[in-house]
Amino acid sequence: AQTVTQSQPEMSVQEAETVTLSCTYDTSESDYYLFWYKQPPSRQMILVIRQEAYKQQNATENRFSVNFQKAAKSFSLKISDSQLGDAAMYFCAYRTAETSGSRLTFGEGTQLTVNP
């Protein structure tokens, strides 16, 4: 079974600074997808960024980028130029690439605080 671990329950960053959230996972599969979801206080979870394991290039979405290290099974999220609206709970998630697989396995989350 796959597991996802987020070792940082809480992180804080100054506005306009950069912060990196850590995520590691365990799997025996070679093809899979990884996601970072954001859950702000309003509770609606939204997708921040996703990575396909067969792609070596790290995904980027504006101020959000990942550092995907497949051999190390590491998938960290970097937020550049942090904004107050980035404050939220961030979840790392794993999904198999098998055609029958739709289950997302989530980490425990990292609560990010952005200080003005």
Partner 1 sequence: ETGVTQTPRHLVMGMTNKKSLKCEQHLGHNAMYWYKQSAKKPLELMFVYNFKEQTENNSVPSRFSPECPNSSHLFLHLHTLQPEDSALYLCASSQDPSGIGEQYFGPGTRLTVT
Q: Is 47 in the site for partner 1 (CB under 8 A)?
A: yes
Contact with partner 1 (CB under 8 A) among 21, 91, 110, 112: 91
Closest to 83 in 3D by CA, of 38, 41, 45, 114: 114
Give the distance from CA 66 to its chain's centroid.
8
Q: Is 42 in the site for partner 1 (CB under 8 A)?
A: yes
- Residue 39 CB, nearest distance to partner 1 (Å)? 8
- Residue 27 CB, nearest distance to partner 1 (Å)? 15
SS3 19: strand
- Cα distance between residue 46 and residue 61, in whole Å: 13
List residues near partner 1 by CB under 8 A.
Answer: 4, 33, 35, 37, 42-47, 50, 52, 91, 97-109
